[in-house]
Amino acid sequence: MAYYDDPNVFYDADVFYDSEESPTKNKKMARILRNWSRLSRQARVNAGKLVATKLDGNANVPNPMPTVAALNTAVDAAQALITEVAEDEQALAEKRSQRDAAIDLVVKLLGQEASTVEGATAGDPTKILSAGFEIAELVGAPVGVLPAPQDLRSTAGDNEGSLDDSCDAVPGAATYEWQTTANPNDPNSWVTRATTTKSSVTITDLPSGTRMYSRVRAHGAAGPGAWSDVAVKMVP
C-alpha cells in the first residue's frame, strides 16, 4: 500500500512546507555620487587629485580604467590652466584699474577745460557749442513747449535808463528772451531787448522816467516757451 493510502499518514503531519530557510538575499550595491558638475572648477580638479592618489596601488581596484597615470595627466593639465587663468585675470584686473584711472584723468581735465571755455565765451551757447561741448540745459530737456517763467522781477538799474530784470530758472531752458514795452495793450509794441543764457538781465538804453513793462520767455530744444506775466517798473 502506498503511503498516501495509509490513513495514519497525513500530508501535513508535523511538516510545514513553507518553513524552509529563505535563500540569502543579495546585498545592495553602493553607487558612487557623481556630483562633480555642481562643484567649483578647483574642487573638480581636487576631486581628480584625490581619486588618483587613492587609486595608486589600491588592492581593491588593481586595474583602474582610465589608468592613474592618465588621470594624473588630465589633473595636471587642468590645474596648470586654472593657475594660468588666475594670473591672467589678475593682470586684467590691474589693466582695468589703469584704464579707469586714465579715464578719470580725462574727465578731470574736461571739467577744467569746460570752466575755461565758459569763462572765455561768457556763457554764449553758440561759442560753447563751437568748442565741442554740450549746453547743460539742453541735455534731457523736456519734450514740448517750455512753461512760462515764474516770478518775474523788474528793479531799477545802477545806471540811468536801465532796468534789472530776473525770474526763476526754467528747467530745460537754453536761453531767455527779454522784451519791454511802454504800452502793454498794444501787442505790436513789444521789443526784444536781449537774449541771455541766464535767468537775469540788465536792460539799457531805456527812456528815463517812463513806466516800462517787461516780460520773458524761455527757449529750449522744442523752441520758445510761453511768455511770463508782465512786470512793471519806472525807468530811473
What would the pLDDT profile of 59-101 be if each residue is shown by its tens digit?
999 999 999 999 999 999 999 999 999 999 899 889 988 998 9
With CA atoms as reference, report the closest residue to 180 among 159, 210, 158, 143. 210
CA pair distance 50, 36, nearest whole angstrom: 13
Tell me which amino acid residue 50 is. Answer: L
- The residues near 147 (Cβ < 8 Å, ≥ 6 apart) are 170, 218, 225, 226
- Final residue belonging to a domain, choices 133, 156, 177: 133
**What is the pTM assigned to this prediction?**
0.42
Shared domain for 129 and 165, answered yes or no, is no
Domain hosting residue 70, numbered range: 32-133
- Final residue belonging to a domain, choices 133, 157, 191: 133
> Per the domain annotation, does 159 fall within a domain?
yes
Shared domain for 45 and 127, answered yes or no, is yes
> Per the domain annotation, does 14 fall within a domain?
no
pLDDT score of 21: 56
pLDDT bin (cut points 50, 70, 90) of residue 141 is: very low
Shared domain for 222 and 146, answered yes or no, is yes
- Final residue belonging to a domain, choices 133, 153, 182: 133
Shared domain for 159 and 181, answered yes or no, is yes
Q: Residue 163: pLDDT above 50?
A: yes
| Domain total of the chain | 2
Shared domain for 171 and 86, answered yes or no, is no
Decide: 228 and 167 in contact? Cβ < 8 Å: yes
Shared domain for 112 and 164, answered yes or no, is no
Question: Cell numbers 490513513 label which residue?
Answer: 7
Shared domain for 105 and 68, answered yes or no, is yes
Shared domain for 114 and 154, answered yes or no, is no
> Per the domain annotation, does 204 fall within a domain?
yes
Decide: 231 and 215 in contact? Cβ < 8 Å: yes
CA pair distance 226, 207, nearest whole angstrom: 27
> Per the domain annotation, does 216 fall within a domain?
yes
